[in-house]
Structure formats: C-alpha cells, structure tokens
Amino acid sequence: MPKKTALVMRATGRQGTGAIRHLVEVGWQVHAFVTDATSDRALALRCFGPQVALFQGIWNDPSTLKEAIHGCRALFFNQLPSTDDAELQEARVVLKLAEEAGVQHVVFTSSLPLSNSNIQEILQTSAAALSILGKADVERLVKASGMTWTILRPGYFLTNLLPPLIYYIHPEIKQNKMINSYGPACRLAVVDPDDTGALATAAFEDPVKFGSQTIAAVSEIVRFDDLVEEFGKAIGTPIEAIYRTPKETEEIKHERVVAGQLICVGLDKFVDMEEVRSWGVPLTSTRSFFKKHKHELQDITGP
C-alpha cells in the first residue's frame, strides 16, 4: 500500500506544526514546506521524527513547490492574511500544482467570519476586509479544484494571547490590563490552532465523512471576561478586562487590532457546538490551552 503522505504548507506556524504532529501520530509521512530549512523553527520539526522531511521554498517559485508536493496525496493549505490579492494568486499556483501531482484531498483553513452570509456588507468599511474576503475567493477556488476538499473556518486563535503577539494586541498587558472593543457581553468563538491540525488529520483519514464539508473550527465559546480570568490564573496575576466605550471604539475602528476585535463580536451565533462535537475530534478547552502553554506565559507582565 502506498505511504500516506501529506504536504503541509507554512509548516513552522502554529497550524502547520499542529497538522504535522497529528498526522505523524496516525502514521502519515509529511513534507513540511518551509521558507528557511536552517531556521530554528524548521529544525524543531525534526522532533517529530523521520516521518517529516523538510522542503525549502516559496510558493511563487513553482519549482520548489513542485518538488515538495511530489508523491503527496493530501494537502494542508493555510495562508498568511494579506491586504491584497496575494492569497488568491498563491492559491492558483498551489492548487494547480496539487492537481497535477495527483493530490486527492485538500484541507484549507479559512476564517470563521465567512460563516456570516452578510459579511461582505459588514466589512465594507473595515480595515480587516481584504484579509477575510480574500479567503472567500480562495474557498471558491478550493471547491472548484476537482480534488476532494474540506474547509475549516477557525475562530479566534488562543495563541494571540501568547508572546510575542500579545504584546502587539494588548501592549497594556505589562500593566495587568487587557483593553479591548469586544464589549462586556461578547462571547468569543475560540480555538487552539493545534486543533485545526487535529481536524485536518481526521479529514484526511476519513475523506468520505469530511469531504465537501465546511466546518467551524471552534473549541469553545467563552465570554471575554472568563477568558481573561483564565489567563490571569495561568500567569498567577489577576488581569483586568477594560472595555472601550462605543465612542472610543468608533474613533479608532480603522486600526487593524480594533477592526479584528469588532469582527469577532457575534460570531458565536454562527457556531453550533453540538455539530462541532459531532465530528468526533477532541478539542482543547481554554483552561487546557493555558495549562499547556504555561511555560510561554512566564514573566509576561511587569516591567
């Protein structure tokens, strides 16, 4: 029987690493596509064992990608957000090469806001519009590719609360505060990016069940207050959630962090957690996530 081999794009990212870990656990070979095979993050992938082979390249150099995708029957396709059409251009190249190489199944990680049918209207004046609507264009390409497809729409990545991202999103964390524009009633649809790897692996293992499915990749619905409380427990220091007034938010709504927070509001209405659980993939709770990453949260507050 031919070996089960998958190409994982952006293999050193949180989603890519999660996909590799879960694929290796169930016996897959992995071609890990990285921009620099000598970087610490790429070399760290060796901890998964000989089942993982590093392939260095960039998507707009098709020769490197063609080599990486050779012999693969599955593709884990995740992209960096962009503010132009880079994601669409990348998808055209990657999907074409995947089809030519005989890839049978592609899992694409998209974005939960696309589950709202009114999202295009909502995003008309948002600074986050292009980075989300660009994924809608890629979703259409994936569905038209001719390969079996599964689309995952992840919610808010809990890794946003780990260094270094937390210092960009919440620079006031050094003062034991999290200033935000969610509003005190907001219930966030959150996910550990590692869980998208678990869902993708389940999809590759059972393409009949997961084929032609669009899945909300959400591990938990949690109030922001409760999320901040769990965060404080993990670092051993109480953190105060401070909510901007509507007027304060209006004045800075075009800032990327604020725009991203506003898009998260109300997304819980588009997630059926019973349906998510019905896929039979164990997902990570907020409390378990912070426990797992406690070593990364040391000395996160203070001077």
Each residue's pLDDT tens digit, 16-35: 999 999 999 999 999 999 99
Residue 204 domain-assigned (yes or no): yes
Q: How confident is the model at residue 124 (pLDDT cuts 50, 70, 90)?
A: confident
In this predicted structure, the answer to whether residue 1 has a pLDDT above a threshold of 60 is no
Mean pLDDT calculated for residue range 98-112: 97
For residue 94, the surrounding DSSP H or E stretch is helix 86-100
Least confident of 3-17, 79-93, 126-140, 238-252: 126-140
What percent of the chain stands above pLDDT 70? Answer: 98
Residue 189 domain-assigned (yes or no): yes
Q: At 262, which CATH number?
A: 3.40.50.720
Q: How confident is the model at residue 302 (pLDDT cuts 50, 70, 90)?
A: low
Provide the residue range defining the domain that includes 73.
Answer: 5-297
Residue 302 domain-assigned (yes or no): no
What are the φ/ψ torsions at residue 90 (nearest 5 degrees)? -60, -45
- Residues 269, 272, 277, CA angle at the centre, nearest 5°? 150
In this predicted structure, the answer to whether residue 121 has a pLDDT above a threshold of 90 is no
Residue 29 domain-assigned (yes or no): yes
Q: Are 255 and 127 in contact, with CB atoms under 8 Å apart?
A: yes
In this predicted structure, the answer to whether residue 301 has a pLDDT above a threshold of 80 is no
d(CA 155, CA 133): 15
Residue 303 domain-assigned (yes or no): no
Query: For residues 78, 293, 257 and 151, what is the CA-based torsion angle, rounded to 10 degrees?
Result: 30
Place of tokens 């990570």: 284
d(CA 201, CA 247): 44
End-to-end CA distance of the chain: give it in Å, rounded.
58
Mean pLDDT calculated for residue range 272-277: 97
Least confident of 75-79, 113-117, 204-208: 113-117
In this predicted structure, the answer to whether residue 169 has a pLDDT above a threshold of 50 is yes
Half-sphere exposure of 234 (CA within 13 A, CB side): 22
Overall number of domains in the chain:
1
124, 167, 198 from 257: Cα distances, Å: 17, 12, 28
| Bridge partners (DSSP) listed for residue 29 | 5
What is this structure's pTM?
A: 0.95
3-state secondary structure of 5: strand
The mean of the pLDDT values for the chain is 94
